[in-house]
Amino acid sequence: MAVGTGAVGAAALLLTGCTSSVDTTSTGEQAAGATVSTKFGDVTVPEDAERVVALGWGDAETALALGVQPVGASDWLDFGGNGVGPWAEGLYDRPPEIIGTLEPDYERIAALQPDLILDVKSSGDQERYERLSQIAPTVGVPEGGDSYLTPLDAQVEMIATALGKEDEGEQLLDDLDAQFEQARNAHPEFEGSSVAVASFTSEGWGAYVEGSERVQFMQQLGFEQSEDVAALTAQGFTAPVSQEQLDVLDADLLVVFPIYLPASEVTEQAEFQRLPAVEGGHAIVFDEGDPEEQAISQAYSLNSVLSIPYALEKMVPLAAEKVRQ
């Protein structure tokens, strides 16, 4: 995983000669379509865009769910192949060009001659947006969506509007709402229970903050963000947690993502073992070395309209088994 697993974003290299490699007249020849409001202002997109490049976290799967196959896409979770999880296999007729995540190759994007670029769940970096906009109309993050904190509803609504598929987008969200409601009704113990969702990397601990997809998913099941975690100072989509303050992660349910590390790097920590949630058996620690657990972790982390049904099927029983009652 890249950004979503705690990696630190780096500024992309200055693209030289961009205007000479981009056909800036092609989009102007298309009829104007919908207007989408973003952090960077209103963006008018071409009607019936055919060559779409989807760069944001989960943007490609959102487009696929709406029946549009991007010609270029970013593989944030290192799936390989077409850059999508097993829940989306078979949706591409032709493999997309895989574009880098934190530092996209603007020349490769331009070579695809897109008529629309989706960067809806992204860093919200102004320079990145301006470079992409030189290539084609770009739908960037919404207001408040910086640091990959674009809510799922906003992501689907913005992309559906840009693709001229508002009704389909609304139906996708209605279907997901129904699935979450079914899970909540089946597990009333989730309602009001506190949850802390954390990552552990080579740089240490981090807690996912309000608005991040991993917290959103649990809240839609009825959980509430841990008050101790909510009080931490966010740095992007996580808040750093020192080893000495690990007790802030105690909650009715603790979910931990070891990133590019074996689960034992977490479970063998003495401080972790002493947490009441861990002592009481109320913690889930994903093991990326286990293919099934990795798939659950990826589906949950991506939190796309395509991955959520898979995550619900697998994650809900785990949470039900572990939550403190």
pLDDT at 33 (0 to 100): 83
Buried b (16+ CB within 10 A) or exposed e, 289-322: eeeebebbbbbbbbbbbbbbebbbebbbebbbeb
Burial of 190 (C-beta count, 10 Å sphere; 0-12/13-18/19+): buried
Confidence check: pLDDT of 14 > 60:
no
Report d(CA 221, CA 308) in Å as an integer. Answer: 12
Report d(CA 173, CA 13) in Å as an integer. Answer: 37
Give the position of tokens 């931990």: 256
Confidence check: pLDDT of 152 > 50:
yes
In this prediction, residues 220-248 reach a mean pLDDT of 96
CA angle centred on 287, ends 64 and 208, rounded to 5° = 65
pLDDT at 15 (0 to 100): 25
pLDDT at 324 (0 to 100): 85
Q: Whose CA is closest to 305, among 94, 102, 91?
A: 91
**Secondary structure of residue 313 in the 3-state scheme:** helix
Model pLDDT for residues 55-113, shown as the tens digit of each residue? 999 999 999 999 999 999 999 999 999 999 999 999 999 999 999 999 999 999 999 99
Q: Whose CA is closest to 304, among 77, 2, 4, 60?
A: 60
Report d(CA 175, CA 181) in Å as an integer. Answer: 10
* Helix locations, the chain, DSSP H: 18-21, 59-65, 106-111, 126-135, 152-162, 166-186, 213-220, 227-230, 264-267, 270-273, 276-279, 291-302, 307-322
Total Cβ atoms within 10 A of residue 4 = 26
Give the whole-number percent of the chain exceeding pLDDT 90: 89
Residue 217's alpha-carbon distances to 99, 274, 287, 290, in angstroms, are 27, 27, 19, 22
List of domains in the chain: 33-166 (3.40.50.1980), 183-322 (3.40.50.1980)
**Better-scored residue on pLDDT, 29 or 218:** 218
**Better-scored residue on pLDDT, 270 or 9:** 270
221 touches 319 (CB < 8 A): yes
249 touches 275 (CB < 8 A): yes
Model pLDDT for residues 46-63, shown as the tens digit of each residue? 998 999 999 999 999 999
Average pLDDT, the chain: 90
Residue 272's alpha-carbon distances to 223, 231, 247, 248, in angstroms, are 22, 20, 8, 11
Instruction: Indicate the pTM of the whole model.
Output: 0.87
Total Cβ atoms within 10 A of residue 187 = 17
Confidence check: pLDDT of 142 > 80:
yes
Q: Which residues pair with 73 in a beta bridge?
A: 54, 98
pLDDT at 24 (0 to 100): 32
Q: How confident is the model at residue 31 (pLDDT cuts 50, 70, 90)?
A: low
